[in-house]
Structure 1
């Protein structure tokens, strides 16, 4: 039986996703949650009987993490998330 590297194990990617999701609870901001979604998607890809290289997995991880982060920021942003401009001194 061929010995697998750690990046070829689906449960390692899933454990990383779980760790990142827990880290998101500690430091909210949807950054770690985007990475967790990317790692979970890569775990699903590794679970399939495909031979995907490490470079391809890292590219997929990066792309899906970025897309997940953008989607999460748009879904959960504050409705009045706009910059306030003051035309006079507010300390008067």
Structure 2
């Protein structure tokens, strides 16, 4: 019998690649957090003997994505209280 698609490691890494490309088109650290979560989930599936159900796998993916997003936001966001002000319009 064929194993389910969500248990194949390269499917998660391919999804991570798609989300990383989406991050380049639509920046904001959202897709990058999901991409990092999917990549680490795919790497976890490479561990021999690891068999998890779909709900557990989705929980791992969600937790890793949230952690990645929080880390990215902490290190790459503007300093607290600082607002980016644009003085010139690109169309001028």
Category of TM-score, reference length = shorter chain? 0.7 to 0.9
Paired residue for 1:26?
25
* RMSD (Å), alpha carbons: 1.7
Q: Structure 1: state its 5+ residue gaps.
A: 84-92
Alignment of 1:63-74 (within 5 A): 63-74=63-74
Deviations 1:7-27 (A, max 9, x none): 011000000000000000000
Distance 1:17 1:81 in 2: 32
- TM-score between both structures, scaled by the size of structure 1: 0.83
Three-state SS of the structure 1 residue aligned to 2:70 is: helix
How many residue pairs were aligned? 83
1:59 to partner: Cα distance? 0.1
Q: How far did residue 80 of structure 1 move?
A: 6.2
Shift of 1:46: 1.0
Which 5+ residue runs of structure 2 have no aligned equivalent? Answer: 84-92
- TM-score under structure 2 length normalisation: 0.83
The runs of at least 4 aligned residues of structure 1 exceeding 2 Å deviation read: 79-83
Aligned to 2:78: 78
Largest Rg, 1 or 2: 1
